[in-house]
Amino acid sequence: MTDVTHGAPVAAPRAFVSPATERRVVRIVLVLVAIAFLAIFLFLPLISVFYEAFRAGFSAFLRAVTERETASAIRLTLLVAAFSVPANLVFGVAAAWAIAKYEFKGKSLLITLIDLPFSISPVTSGLIYVLMFGAQGYIGPVLADHGIKIIFAVPGIVLATIFVTFPFIARELIPIMQAQGSQDEEAALSLGASGLKTFFRVALPNVKWALLYGVLLCNARAMGEFGAVSVVSGHIRGKTNTMPLQVEILYNEYNYGAAFAVASLLALLALFTLIVKSVLEWRYADEIAATRRH
Amino acid sequence: MNALASIDSEGSVALGEPVDVTIENVVKAFDDTPALHGVSLDVKAGELVALLGPSGSGKTTLLRILAGLDAPTAGRVLFGGEDALGLAVQDRNIGFVFQHYALFRHMTVFDNIAFGLTVRPRAQRPSKADIRRRVLGLIDLVQLNGLDKRYPTQLSGGQRQRVALARALAIEPRVLLLDEPFGALDAQVRKDLRRWLREIHDRTGHTTFFVTHDQEEALELADRVVVMSKGRIEQVGSADDIYDSPASPFVFGFIGESSLLPVTVADGAAVLDGVPTGLSAPGAAAGPATLGFRPHDVVLVEDDGPALRGRIIAERRHGARRRLELEVGREHHRAEIDVEVGAPRPEGGRIAFRPERWRIFPPR
Amino acid sequence: MARATAFAFRKPSVLPGFGLTLGFAVAYLSLIVLVPLAGLVVKTASMGWPEFWSLATDPRTLAALRLSFGASAAAAAMNAVFGLLVAWVLVRYEFPGKRIIDAMVDLPFALPTAVAGIALTAIYAPNGWIGRYAAEAGVKIAYTPIGIFIALVFIGLPFIVRTVQPVLEDMDREVEEMAATLGANRLQTVVRIVLPTLAPALLTGFALAFARAVGEYGSVIFIAGNIPYVSEIAPLLIVIRLTEFNYAAATAIATVMLALSFVILLAINLLQAWSRRRLGHD
């Protein structure tokens, strides 16, 4: 490592490298290796989705995504998101408010339980609803007697989606609300604002970017959920097929072009989510810094 | 003394021998903003030198250049006549202590101190038993006996500081560099450690630089004090030199309490806003200059001859005396003087005074 | 009376809505998560030990569990290396396109798993962009455990990067400079100072990536080939048992997976608590 030559008349002037970083050539090699890794594992799959989707031309793509069963899958996916995202939004805000603004016993247990769905396989998530509401489940037969069908029907898909996307909004809100403390709300109350007014005029605007990001992430996951939905849906074409399930069916029928066409719509949704997230992060870096982790 | 014996028993002679340090015209620019403007300094082997200045004066930059953590834009640094800038930080053989210690949190006190020895190339690495003996000797030297298995988070601030110093000493540095070594400690611990650092220095005899913004610390501890301001050395000297014969209004103002007034020198005396002050300015060239005096070097005089005159705008208790804040001269320059607590308050707050000791500084 | 218990249960606050928000949150949590999960536990418990044991130790189940946990561990380990590298270059270096790359690291979070699954299969199939060259070299990737490994690397990457990144950003550079002044070369500094400091974050990221990979379904089933005893993952076996209406077997596999995951996560959490106590950051 050391290139000190005691006999040399003049030490060759060399570029100074801060001891807290690497030599330039090492830096370049590390960046290139990282980019190569990401190119193979991240960029290539993304590119291939669009490449395969448009390989047969734009009109083939259009035909594929407007085909009757696919269109119905798109409608169902939007419907599922329209139920599950607001449900988790209300829960996320309520849970974050209770956890961030008050001190009470069992708080960390509550936080752990909120995270629970993250550590459960989506397939297991579907399974527990089948055990609960299925034809041989605990309350499935009772409900069936009243003409209510949950498994292999839309309600089951919504429930499974809610379960899988359960923690997203709460997880985005809790850290930022905790970091902000309660002074703003207390100030508003002391100025005579009502509780509700304080909540809508002070507390919510304070966390609006985290809230927006949480909703987007929750939405992306809700529309893209596969494993849990696959278990409870029953794959009834045109009825209980969401977009991801439609992708699977088309793919398994060797209808690759159509499968990738539908997949590309979901990939666009993912890209949109990432772009909004990045823009929010760049513009409101300080506000969102606390919610970096997932 | 045992500790020192074990340190000295290390075979290599070149290592740890204190060296002269020569700094020649060192310039440092960060993105075209100059941080050091041609700094030169000669330090003899074994000297304990304080780099004293306000933040932004370039003192830490100079220390980091000596260490090899930064490179100067121009200039030379010699350790014992040898070009130090050609050496990477690893080969410079210096001991560095950061203000916040930069201890390795995942290592015990023992492992922290031993680190510098264990990373040596195999040929130069002491045996395990040797390392153990030397580390324990250092732990003894810094009076942390029995704490060798502790982790840094289990230590007090003062103890961490001692670990940081022992770790720097372990590699038997030629030069010891301390960046605000007591900056993060309580006042009392600071005082204790200050005395203790002086003792260690007297026993080990390293050429030592320490950076501080605390004049008391610098004056009390250092053989020589280097006062820096805005990337320049203002004055180098002993504590007495710096305090009694400040070379510039900056040094006068930075060390101790002081008032500075813009005056004109005419006929060998200082004139403030056209009014004679009665203060002689021997040797000063005629023209604008700065008059400096210390608040406690002032006596009140009758308002009938040459004097400084001012109006009291505030007063407060200051130790055993009372401090008056004044507007002095026609142009209302600010100045502070101390008077006896029982001194009668003059009518209308008008007061005339004369420094018993003062200095006239030529313009920059 | 009620006041007194409420007082003991929580610290007083002037903000309104505690009862409402906590009550709603707990009720919703119970309905959506806890009660259905309890159903799984009850179902398992009602089975009786011999039945459960025979279902859980069925050779096909064991093979699937072994594959799921093994491939997940391998993928998480791969991600620990490359995720650390990605986090490192993103935090420490400047290079063109850095922001875009930083944003793209989250792609596996946002991309639906089924989409990732068919895309990876298209690339690694014997006629795919990469699979073609692998096939020429005699390596089959898609429809083998290697394919499973690749899918799990894809979905696990952000967990490592996003846990290591903030720690790396907060890391005190003076510690590295300190090591250099003590004579350590860069490699020694990285290995002996930087990596141990990052270890707790790496471990957390590893655990998260591992847990996610064990349960992963969508991105794997397309590329796996799904051959029993060879490339059939445990979540897929649950689905297969469900389609056979063999709820007991599906439940047994799910329970074993949950239990194993919790044991591993618990172990990692304890290890982390221990190292955190020692390093003193919390």
CB contact under 8 A, C172 and B104: no
pLDDT at A2 over 50: no
CB contact under 8 A, C215 and A120: yes
Which residues from A are below 8 Å from C262, CB to CB? Answer: 119
Mapped onto helix, strand or coil, the DSSP state of residue B298 is strand
**Distance separating the N- and C-terminal Cα atoms of chain A:** 41
CATH code: domain of residue B271: 2.40.50.140
pLDDT at A12 over 50: no
CB contact under 8 A, C112 and A266: yes
Q: Which residue of C has its CA nearest to A45?
A: C119
Residue B12: the pLDDT is: 31
Q: B195 and B64: one domain?
A: yes
CA distances from A265 to A52, A59, A219 (A): 12, 15, 14
Task: Please tell me what DSSP assigns to residue B269.
Answer: E
Intervals of chain C under pLDDT 50: 1-7, 281-282
What element of type H or E holds B191?
A: helix B187-204
Q: B226 and B284: one domain?
A: no
Place of tokens 């959490």: C269
Say if B58 is an interface residue toward chain C (CB within 8 Å).
no
Residue C149 and residue B307: Cα distance in Å, rounded?
91
Residue C67 and residue C149: Cα distance in Å, rounded?
10
What element of type H or E holds B40?
A: strand B33-43
Q: How confident is the model at residue B8 (pLDDT cuts 50, 70, 90)?
A: very low
- Provide the CB-side half-sphere exposure for A78 (13 A, CA): 7
pLDDT at A121 over 60: yes
Least-confidence region, from A94-98, B82-86, B192-196: B192-196
CB contact under 8 A, C186 and A19: yes
Among candidates B180, B233, B192, which has minimal Cα distance to B39? Answer: B233
Place of tokens 């018993």: B356
**What pairs with residue B21 in β-bridges?**
B43, B79
Out of B214, B249, B284, a domain closes at B249
Task: Please tell me what DSSP assigns to residue B57.
Answer: S
Q: What tens digit of pLDDT does each residue of A207-239 get?
A: 888 899 899 999 999 999 999 999 998 877 778
CB contact under 8 A, A278 and C103: yes
Q: How confident is the model at residue B280 (pLDDT cuts 50, 70, 90)?
A: confident
Out of B202, B229, B249, a domain closes at B249
CA distances from C30 to A114, A165, B311, C25 (A): 10, 15, 77, 8
The rounded percent of chain B whose pLDDT value lies above 70 is: 95
Place of tokens 């009140």: B300
Contact B110, B135 (CB under 8 A): yes
What's the average model confidence in pLDDT over B256-279?
A: 88
Contact B133, B204 (CB under 8 A): no
Phi, psi of B335 (to 5 degrees): -150, 160
A and C: number of Cβ contacts within 8 A: 299
| Paired tokens of B190 | 């600071």
CB contact under 8 A, A293 and C166: yes
Residue B16: the pLDDT is: 61
Best mutation target among A30, A31, A50, A249 (most C Cβ atoms within 10 Å) is A31
Give the E-state strand segments of B188-297 in sequence order.
Answer: 207-212, 224-229, 232-237, 259-266, 269-272, 275-280, 287-293
Which residues from C are below 8 Å from A168, CB to CB? Answer: none
Which candidate from C172, C181, C279 shows the least CB-CB separation from B94? C181
Considering only residues C148 and B6, tell me which one the structure prediction assigns the higher pLDDT. Answer: C148
Pairing of strands B298-300, B287-293: unpaired
Residue C194 and residue C170: Cα distance in Å, rounded?
12
Q: Where are the domains of chain C?
A: 17-46, 58-281
Place of tokens 């799904």: C226
Out of B217, B249, B281, a domain closes at B249
Which residues from B are below 8 Å from A4, CB to CB? Answer: 86-87, 91
Q: Is residue B1 part of a domain?
A: no
| Paired tokens of B126 | 């002491």
Angle at B14 between CA B11 and CA B17, to 5 degrees: 100
pLDDT at B15 over 50: no
Q: B242 and B318: one domain?
A: no
The rounded percent of chain A whose pLDDT value lies above 70 is: 91
Say if C265 is an interface residue toward chain A (CB within 8 Å).
yes
Contact C115, A226 (CB under 8 A): no
Among candidates B40, B363, B36, which has minimal Cα distance to B229? Answer: B36
Query: Going by C-beta distance under 8 Å and a sequence separation of 6 or more, which residues neighbour residue B305?
Result: B278
As assigned by CATH, the class of the C58-281 domain is: mainly alpha
Among candidates A176, A133, A187, which has minimal Cα distance to A157? Answer: A133
Q: What tens digit of pLDDT does each residue of C225-253 get?
A: 888 999 999 999 999 999 898 999 999 99
Say if B119 is an interface residue toward chain C (CB within 8 Å).
yes
Q: At what angle do helices C145-170 and C195-215 cross, to 10 degrees?
A: 140
Which candidate from A4, A12, A18 shows the least CB-CB separation from B87? A4
Residue C175 and residue A181: Cα distance in Å, rounded?
33
Contact B337, B270 (CB under 8 A): no
Q: HEC profile for B61-105?
A: HHHHHHHCCCCCCEEEEEECCEECCCCCHHHCCEEEECCCCCCCC
What element of type H or E holds C271?
A: helix C247-279
Q: B25 and B162: one domain?
A: yes
| Paired tokens of C94 | 């400047």
Residue C3: the pLDDT is: 46
Which candidate from B71, B86, B89 shows the least CB-CB separation from A4? B86
Residue B1: the pLDDT is: 36
CB contact under 8 A, A19 and B89: yes
Which residues from C are below 8 Å from A134, CB to CB? Answer: 247
Q: How confident is the model at residue A5 (pLDDT cuts 50, 70, 90)?
A: very low
Q: B114 and B168: one domain?
A: yes
Residue B212 and residue B192: Cα distance in Å, rounded?
16
Considering only residues A69 and C17, tell me which one the structure prediction assigns the higher pLDDT. Answer: A69
Residue A14: the pLDDT is: 54
pLDDT at B10 over 60: no
Neighbouring CB atoms inside 10 A of C257's CB total 24
Rounded to a whole number, what is the distance in Å from the CA of C95 to chain B's nearest CA?
Answer: 19
Residue B39 and residue C25: Cα distance in Å, rounded?
66
Best mutation target among C181, C187, C271 (most B Cβ atoms within 10 Å) is C181
Q: B245 and B273: one domain?
A: no
Residue C179: the pLDDT is: 95
Say if B104 is an interface residue toward chain C (CB within 8 Å).
yes
Contact C148, C220 (CB under 8 A): yes
Composition of chain A by helix, strand, coil, percent to 5: 75, 0, 25
Residue B318: the pLDDT is: 87
Q: What tens digit of pLDDT does each residue of B91-130 get?
A: 999 999 999 999 999 999 999 999 999 999 999 899 999 9
Rounded to a whole number, what is the distance in Å from the CA of B84 to chain A's nearest CA?
Answer: 10
Q: What is the average pLDDT value for chain B, to the nearest integer?
A: 87
Query: Going by C-beta distance under 8 Å and a sequence separation of 6 or more, which residues neighbour residue B242?
Result: B219, B225, B227, B235, B251, B255
Best mutation target among C118, C164, C182 (most A Cβ atoms within 10 Å) is C118
Q: How confident is the model at residue A286 (pLDDT cuts 50, 70, 90)?
A: low
At A293, the amino acid letter reads R
Task: Please tell me what DSSP assigns to residue B312.
Answer: E
Among candidates C172, C16, A106, which has minimal Cα distance to B99? Answer: C172
Say if C44 is an interface residue toward chain A (CB within 8 Å).
no
Residue C34 and residue C17: Cα distance in Å, rounded?
24
Q: Which chains neighbour C (Cβ–Cβ under 8 Å, 3 or more pairs)?
A: A, B
Q: B26 and B133: one domain?
A: yes
Total count of domains within chain B: 2
Residue A103: the pLDDT is: 86
Rg for chain C, CA atoms, rounded: 23
| Paired tokens of C128 | 């795919």
Residue B152: the pLDDT is: 92
Q: B230 and B277: one domain?
A: no
Which candidate from C179, C193, C279 shows the least CB-CB separation from B153? C279
Which residues from A are below 8 Å from B88, CB to CB? Answer: 1-2, 19
Residue C133: the pLDDT is: 93
At B18, the amino acid letter reads P
Q: B59 and B158: one domain?
A: yes
Residue B186 and residue B29: Cα distance in Å, rounded?
34
Which candidate from C89, C116, C251 shows the least CB-CB separation from A30? C89
Q: How far is CA C141 from the centre of its chain?
A: 22
Say if B343 is an interface residue toward chain C (CB within 8 Å).
no
**Which residues of chain C have a Cβ shorter than 8 Å from any chain B Cβ?**
172, 174-175, 177-185, 188, 192-193, 196-197, 199, 275, 278-281
Q: At what angle do helices A122-133 and A154-164 cross, to 10 degrees?
A: 140
Which residues from B are below 8 Å from C192, CB to CB? Answer: 115, 119
CA distances from C71 to C74, C79, C149, C218, C259 (A): 5, 12, 5, 15, 18
Report which listed range, A2-11, A98-107, B14-23, is most confident: A98-107
Residue A9 and residue B23: Cα distance in Å, rounded?
20
Interface predicted TM-score (ipTM) over 0.90: no
CB contact under 8 A, C21 and A97: yes
CA distances from C52 to A134, C48, C56 (A): 21, 6, 6
Q: What DSSP string runs through B222-246?
A: -SEEEEEETTEEEEEE-HHHHHHS-
Among candidates A83, A228, A88, A215, which has minimal Cα distance to A151? Answer: A228
CA distances from B230 to B36, C204, C233 (A): 8, 46, 68
Residue A1: the pLDDT is: 38
Q: Which residue of A has its CA nearest to B89?
A: A19
Rounded to a whole number, what is the distance in Å from the CA of C263 to chain B's nearest CA?
Answer: 26
Pairing of strands B232-237, B74-79: unpaired
Pairing of strands B48-52, B224-229: parallel
Residue C222: the pLDDT is: 94
Contact B286, B266 (CB under 8 A): yes
What element of type H or E holds B28?
A: strand B21-30
Q: How confident is the model at residue A287 (pLDDT cuts 50, 70, 90)?
A: low
**What pairs with residue B299 in β-bridges?**
B354
CB contact under 8 A, B69 and A19: yes
**Distance separating the N- and C-terminal Cα atoms of chain C:** 37
pLDDT at A7 over 70: no
CB contact under 8 A, B90 and A18: no
Mapped onto helix, strand or coil, the DSSP state of residue A169 is helix
Domain that holds residue B285: 257-361
Composition of chain C by helix, strand, coil, percent to 5: 80, 0, 20
Q: Is residue B277 part of a domain?
A: yes
CB contact under 8 A, B91 and A2: yes
Q: B300 and B333: one domain?
A: yes
The rounded percent of chain A whose pLDDT value lies above 90 is: 51
CB contact under 8 A, B89 and C181: yes
pLDDT at A15 over 90: no
Rounded to a whole number, what is the distance in Å from the CA of C110 to chain A's nearest CA?
Answer: 5
Q: B169 and B281: one domain?
A: no
Residue C16: the pLDDT is: 80
Among candidates A221, C263, C177, which has minimal Cα distance to B177? Answer: C177
Q: B151 and B292: one domain?
A: no
Say if C235 is an interface residue toward chain A (CB within 8 Å).
yes
Place of tokens 């082997």: B45
Residue C279: the pLDDT is: 65
Residue C198 and residue C170: Cα distance in Å, rounded?
11
